[in-house]
Chains A and B, each alone.
Chain A
Amino acid sequence: MLDYLIRRILLGLGTLLLITFVVYGLIRVMPGDPLLVVMESMGPDKQPRPEDIERMREMFGLNDPWYVAYFEWLGRTLTGDLGNSLSRKAPVASLIAERIGPTLMLSVSSLLLTYLLAIPMGLYATARSNRLDERVLSTALYMLYSLPSFVAALLLQMLFAIHLRGTPFELPLFGMVSDNFDTMSRGEQLMDLFRHAVLPVTCYTYASLAYYSRFVRANMQEVIRQDYIRTARAKGVGPTAVLLKHAFRNTLIPLVTLIGLTLPTLLSGAIILEQIFSWPGMGKLFFESIRERDYPTLMGLMLMFSVLTLLGQLLADLLYAIVDPRVSYS
């Protein structure tokens, strides 16, 4: 087991080096650089002098070829320093730390909601298999699964922020807090956050809800045909007990491993959704950094996403071995 773990971690580190190298190269080949973007945004009378530009390019390492700059970045990162954002004058680590909260707020609540709803729905669909209500539920979920989240987001915005304006059901169009957030009392602040989060969390949740409940149902259908289920039924165990105690417990394995694979999405956020709802999270930060050609921030984010993805895969494999004694890696 330990052998396996060490080998996987070493392999993962190699993959990580490769990914960051490729991504760094990609980022540096994008046309334009951070200084040009900043200069474009400033008025013509405020343009810096050429020697200042040269000094700044030298300071940011923009004059080096990208592979040299990559190894400089790598060296600094290995000492735990992600560098400073070029466009925001702040350390990348603190920029990311600032954005983690809002993203986690969306992703964690949506993940909890998904598990809370998907498991009962999947079980219900198994119990009522091939009846009318199950077909209606499954078809509805399948349609939701195919509905792109950005379309759903726009439709929901239209319904709740525009058509229901002035009613108690009105929800804000975008943003995380209202303008007068600082003057509110504690309770009002919570309510305000909640009202802003409803639409993004809904959009975040519905597609994975469809995926998870179908996943639960598919696994259940496989288990329910096993001999031990027939035995349990023959012994006179009630239908609910068969479903929960005998069948569902045996579908927990794939469900648990799925948790590992969702790890990266917890932090990477939904770039498009955060953009539509102007939610100040990681996805929006990533989008803005691409626009601003902010190399250090982009690299910091990419590093984090890749580490999480690799960790998630490792976690899924390990969990698999833990929950299923038949699997061993030694």
Chain B
Amino acid sequence: MRRRLAMLALVYVVALAVIAVFSPMIVGTKPIVCRYKGQIYFPALAYYNRSWEPAVFQRDRFRNVYVGNLKEKDPDSWAIWPPLYQDPNRRVREGEWPGQPENPTRDEGSPNRFNWLGTNRAGVDVLAQMVHGARTALLVGFVSMGIAASIGVVVGALAGYFGGWIDMALSRLIEVVMCIPALVLILALIAILERPTIWHLMAVLGVTGWTGIARLTRAEFLRLKELDYVTAARALGVGQSQIMFRHVLRNAMAPVLVPITFGIASAILTESALSFLGFGSPPPNPSWGTLLNAGRSAIQQMWWLIVFPGIAIFLTVLAYNLIGEGLQEATDPRLSEAD
């Protein structure tokens, strides 16, 4: 039962990752592939990074609207479009796409045929923001936990393997970081930055979220370094770092994966909480938390700004928690149902 739930969660996470990676090909207003003046371009890539927008379209004054301009400026051009013509950053106007009306603004954009999950006050499609927001959420989850895991594993490994005063000093460090409430530390670090970007946010989440991983790694190293194969390796003359990272770490990795998985859930949660509080990623990055924040100020009328991103955050956090639990059960023999 539990294992099946964990597998289901894994399927959800993989599906979400696919949506996130291919978000510009699912919903967007830029062609996935187009041929323009004899050249092949991939304008949709601009959703990943602004500067990847082919310069020719700026020179020809497309102003981000490809549909009419392509045919008008080059009658021989062709393009393959994403299945949903909506944009996560701007409002789709009248006549842009044949047969699709202008996006409603203010509180009139309840879910309809063209905006499946409604629009926000400025008329930007919510589904488009959610799909592109998945990219932000997963990116934050993986990058920040990647940073946290590297710091945590190194600190924990050093403390556990060498012991003595190194352990003493590193344990104090862990204690200090643990003692400062995470949100306080994050808010303070973000406030330091004049104009925080999504990458700063990930770095901050990374440097504050490693303590749990470090503690567990330290405990694993304390246990593993006493084992015979470590003594054997040392007797063979293997170097310290070789023993630590090649022999001990590999055996410590399975239990350490558990706090990492839970950490991804909490990083996604923290990112959306920060965006919700208005400290999150700046406007060009659509985020689930930003949608919620907009929904909070329009709580009287626009339920769709709260319900849909809320469900997305909830399901994603739930999925990572379930996977973490599945891993925990698989790696900790005490938890398996022995009776």
Contact = CB atoms under 8 A, between A and B. Distances in A.
Interface of A: 11, 14-15, 18-19, 22-23, 26-27, 29-31, 135, 142-143, 145-148, 150-151, 154-155, 157-158, 161-162, 173, 222, 225, 264, 268, 271-272, 275-276, 286-287, 290, 302, 305-306, 309-310
Given A26-B192, A30-B188, A31-B192, 15 more contacts: A11-B172, A22-B176, A27-B188, A142-B321, A143-B314, A147-B317, A150-B292, A151-B292, A154-B299, A155-B306, A162-B299, A162-B300, A173-B299, A272-B277, A275-B277
B314 A146 contact: yes
Interface in B288-318: 292, 295-296, 299-300, 303, 306-307, 310, 313-314, 317-318
Interface in B94-141: none
Interface string B210-229: 00000000000000000000
A272 B273 contact: yes
Given A18-B176, A19-B179, A290 B188 contact: yes
A150 B276 contact: yes
B277 A154 contact: no
Contact of B273 (A11, A148, A290): A148
Contacts of B65: none
A162 B172 CA distance: 49
A30 B191 contact: yes
Sorting the interface of chain B by its residue count into under 10, 10 to 19, 20 to 34 or 35 or more gives: 35 or more
B277 A148 contact: no
A146 B324 CA distance: 12
B46 interface: no
A290 B307 CA distance: 30
B180 interface: yes
A77 B325 CA distance: 45
A309 B179 contact: yes
B155 to A, nearest CB: 16
Contacts of A148: 269, 272-273, 313-314, 317
Contacts of B175: 15
Contact of A154 (B176, B269, B295, B300): B295
Interface in B28-72: none
Contacts of B184: 23, 286, 302, 305
A158 B296 CA distance: 9
11 contacts: A15-B179, A19-B180, A23-B184, A26-B192, A27-B188, A31-B193, A31-B194, A151-B313, A222-B334, A272-B183, A305-B180
The residue among B183, B188, B296 with the most chain A CB atoms within 10 A of its own CB is B188
Contacts of A302: 180, 184
Nearest to A268: B181
Contacts of A19: 176, 179-180
A20 to B, nearest CB: 10
B187 A146 contact: no
A158 B192 contact: no
B189 interface: yes
A194 B264 CA distance: 37
